[in-house]
Amino acid sequence: MNSPSDRKIIVPKEFDNLDDISYGVERNGHLGLSPYGEVEGKHRLVLVEWLNSLLPSLDFSTNVTDGELRACLSNGTVLCLILNKLRPGSVTMVSESDLSLPSQSENVKTFLKALDGLGLPRFEISDLEKGSMKPVVDCLLILRIKSLMNSLGENASSTSSTASSPRGYAASSFHYSPPFSVDKRRASTESRFHHVLSSPNMAEPSASLIYQVGNKFHEVFQIKPRSYADLPAAKISEMMKSNSLDNAPTQSLLSVVNGILEESVERRNGEIPHRVACLLRKVSQEIERRISTQAEHLRTQSNLFKAREEKYQSRIRVLEAIASGNKEESEIFAGKLQRLKVEKGKDEEKKENEKKIIRLMKMLDDKNLVILELTQKLEAAKTQYESQCSQLEKEAGDAKAELRRKSQDYEHQSEELRNEVKELETSSDSKYQEWNVKKNHLQAVINFQFSSLQKLKLSWESIRQDVVKEQTVYAEECNRLGVNLKPLVHASQNYQVILAENKKMFNEILELKGNIRVFCRIRPSLVGKKETQSIIEDMGETDLVVENPSKGKDALRSFKFNKIFGPATTQGEVYSDIQPFVRSVLDGYNVCMFAYGQTGSGKTYTMTGPSGATSENLLGVNYRALNDLFRISTSRSSFTDYEIWVQMVEIYNEQVRDLLSTDDSQKRYPFIISF
């Protein structure tokens, strides 16, 4: 049986970070040294240790009294300092120099308001002023438990945070959950787990954390979102070689994984560069290692909790043995209980102790449940990350295969391009040769053209000299011609005068010959008629004698004409005597010619010509007169304009008819002539 001095409960060091378990911790290894109740004394010791570790300047003794605590905490400054220590900048307090008596409770109010905000139970301001400090102590202990729970959550996500701060408060955040509710603890744990994964605060580590994890990983934190793919391979390999990943906070590693995955998802082709995939695998391996370590750590802690529970069970059994009246033990404890009776009343204390032990056991059970849940969560997280890693490896494999396929495509394309380049080179060579041939040909043509040009220039020069010479000769000729032209000009000026005189004399001759002339043309006998049937007895130049036997002694009759044309006279000979009258028309005189005779005497033959005449010699007077009119008017066109029009009429049975009119109403006289 152990003596009272042997019944020291030596708490393993690992339990220092655990909240409720540490209620039973006595740094000097003894129970019940406090002037307060045994349990409350232990609570107070735990609180004192915690406060001293948070704010070393307080330097509370282990036997701190209510009065000392009240004196220290009553103005609220220390309370606010505790909060700010746990969560930097969480409250703004009034400095001590500004504190006046009326506003002394300002910092206390601020502290209590912060507790309300965190959802933690609070005390009243009056508790700080008088009476027991137990509500204040309990409140601070719950705050401590809460901070340790958060510290445990932090430990689950970062092994380095405990290394940087023994209690891991520097980067903690608080999420209140009622201390003895399993469901709410689960909710709180899940919340913390979610917080570790998604909190922006975790993605942005504190300055001290960055300092601890090293500059290499700090560079990774400085990478802008969606720029992992652009990170140089040298920098990634340097980071992977260094121990920066080992020192980096887990939430930062998760942020890197999430960043790479988000970047991969947002990229259209979903490809992950090889170097980034290597970094991803390295980070995943590091996370996996940490999860395994954490799980192992939690299993160890669970075992320790179980050992601790067994010890408490043995203690309970001892106490039960004491209670059941073990004599020796009773005697030993009797003295002790006697002393305790004197101080407070042993029976009540024992019952209270039993109740607290039972509560402690319940708390242990709850804790175990929480730890079990945490272990399960971590196992689930590990499984999830393993599946994610395998998924990532699969995707990396797919990406590699895709990359290989694309590489082959590129190889194929580059091969095709090389072939095309070769073909183009060949074609360009042939074209170059063609162009060279053409160039040589063109050069020869140009040379030929150049020599021809030279010859042309020489020819042109000689021609120019010839032209100059010819111009000189021409000028001389022109001068000579001008000299010769002078008499001609003079002669032409006289020519018009002479011509006018000629006209005048010509028409005077015609007048002298007679304005009215009568010619007689004797038609030859028609085919089939006898010559003897002719009545012409004698025919001279101008005289004609005809015989009419039916008249008896007056049978012979003579006629006189201006001229008589015999049967052998040609059409041209007839016109030659008429032609001067035609020319007289163009000099402005009126001329009228008509043929007169009996039917068949030859009028049409003389004026027009025989029908169907093809020979020019057979043309009659009309054709020849018109021909002369046009010829003479053309020759005089340089100095006289003539208008010539034709009208053909027939006078038959004293009726005049227009032979050219197409309008029947206009055919008979009088005609309406329009020009």
Interface positions with ligand ATP (CB under 6 A): 523-524, 526, 597, 599-605, 610
User: What does the H/E/C string look like for 128-155?
Assistant: HHCCCCHHHHHHHHHHHHHHHHHHHHHH
State the DSSP H helix or E strand holding residue 421, giving kind and residue range, or none if neither. helix 346-513
Asked if residues 304 and 15 have their Cβ atoms less than 8 Å apart, the reply is yes
Q: How far is the CB of 607 from ligand ATP (least distance, A)?
A: 8
Q: Which of 119, 120, 124 is nearest to 108 (CA)?
A: 124
Distance set, CA 620 to CA 341, 567, 605 (Å): 187, 15, 7
The answer to whether 604 is annotated as binding is yes
C-beta closer to ligand ATP: residue 247 or 608: 608
CB of 650 to ligand ATP, least distance (A): 11
> From the CB of 486, what's the least distance to ligand ATP, in Å?
54
User: Residue 145's closest CA among 52, 43, 73, 60?
Assistant: 43
Nearer to ligand ATP, 117 or 524 (CB): 524
Both tokens of 73, joined, read: 């905490």
Q: What whole-number distance in Å separates Cα of residue 246 and Cα of residue 112?
A: 40
CA-nearest of 635, 642, 647 to 674 is 647
- Among residues 540 and 597, whose Cβ is nearest to ligand ATP? 597
Nearer to ligand ATP, 401 or 651 (CB): 651
CB 521 to ligand ATP: min, Å: 6
Q: Which amino acid does the sequence have at 505?
A: M
The CB-of-544 to ligand ATP minimum distance in angstroms stands at 15
Nearer to ligand ATP by C-beta: 166 or 566? 566
Lookup result for tokens 């034709």 = 646
Shorter beta-carbon distance to ligand ATP: residue 590 or 615:
615
In the β-sheet with 536-539, what is the strand arrangement from edge to edge? 536-539, 543-547, 556-560
CB nearer ligand ATP, residue 170 or residue 607: 607
Residue 423 in tokens? 């073909």
603 assigned binding-site residue = yes
Q: Which is nearest to 231 in space by CA: 273, 191, 198, 264? A: 273
Who's near 512: CB < 8 A, 6+ residues apart? Answer: none
Q: Which residue shows structure tokens 């000629």?
A: 502
Judged on CB neighbours under 10 Å (0-12, 13-18, 19+), 248 is: buried
Q: Write the DSSP assignment of 237-292 as a string of letters.
A: HHHHHSTHHHHS-HHHHHHHHHHHHHHHHHSSS----HHHHHHHHHHHHHHHHHHH
Instruction: Give the count of alpha carbons within 13 A of 300, CB side only.
Output: 9
Rounded Cα–Cα distance for residues 270 and 266 (Å): 7
Please, what is the minimum distance in Å from the beta carbon of residue 637 to ligand ATP? 36
- Which residues is 519 bridged to in the sheet? 563
599 annotated as a binding-site residue:
yes
Handedness of CA 580, 582, 587, 589 (dihedral sign): positive
CB nearer to ligand ATP: give 370 or 613: 613
Parallel/antiparallel/unpaired status of strands 563-565 and 556-560: unpaired
Least distance between ligand ATP and beta carbon 568 (Å): 9
Kindly report the number of other CB atoms within 10 A of residue 187's CB atom: 13
Query: Minimum distance from CB of 615 to ligand ATP (Å)?
Result: 13
Tokens for 639, please give them: 């100095």
Q: Give 228 or 605: the residue with its C-beta nearer to ligand ATP.
A: 605
- Residue 291 CA to residue 381 CA, distance in Å, equals 8
In the block, residue with structure tokens 């052998």:
568
Is 602 within any annotated ligand binding site? Answer: yes
CB of 508 to ligand ATP, least distance (A): 33
Give the C-alpha separation, 520 to 535, whole Å.
15
Helix or strand or coil: residue 564? strand
Q: Which residues pair with 180 in a beta bridge?
A: none
The candidate with the shortest Cα–Cα distance to 382, out of 298, 299, 294, is 294
The Cα 601–Cα 522 span in angstroms is 8
Residue nearer to ligand ATP on the CB measure, 504 or 529? 529
Asked whether 533 and 524 are in contact (CB, 8 A), the reply is no
Instruction: Report the alpha-carbon distance of residue 152 to residue 18 in Å, rounded.
Output: 8
Nearest distance from C-beta of residue 609 to ligand ATP, angstroms: 9
Nearest to ligand ATP of 251, 571 (CB atom) = 571
Q: How far is the C-alpha of 425 from the C-alpha of 429, rounded, in Å?
A: 6
Nearer to ligand ATP (CB atom), residue 57 or residue 598: 598
Minimum Å distance from CB 600 to ligand ATP? 4
The pair of three-digit structure tokens given for residue 434, joined into one six-digit string: 């063609």
Distant-in-sequence, close-in-space partners of 320: CB < 8 Å, separation ≥ 6: none
Antiparallel, parallel or unpaired: β 543-547 and 556-560: antiparallel
Considering the complex, state which of residue 546 and residue 613 has its C-beta at the smaller distance from ligand ATP: 613
Q: Which is nearer to ligand ATP, 434 or 650 (CB)?
A: 650
Closest residue to ligand ATP in the complex (CB): 602
600 is in an annotated binding site: yes
CB of 672 to ligand ATP, least distance (A): 28
Instruction: Report the nearest approach of ligand ATP to the CB of residue 569 (Å).
Output: 7
| Pick 194 or 529: Cβ nearer ligand ATP | 529
Shortest reach from residue 606's CB to ligand ATP, in Å: 7
CB of 657 to ligand ATP, least distance (A): 15
Residues annotated in the binding site for ATP, as ranges?
597-604
Which residue ranges make up the annotated binding site? 597-604
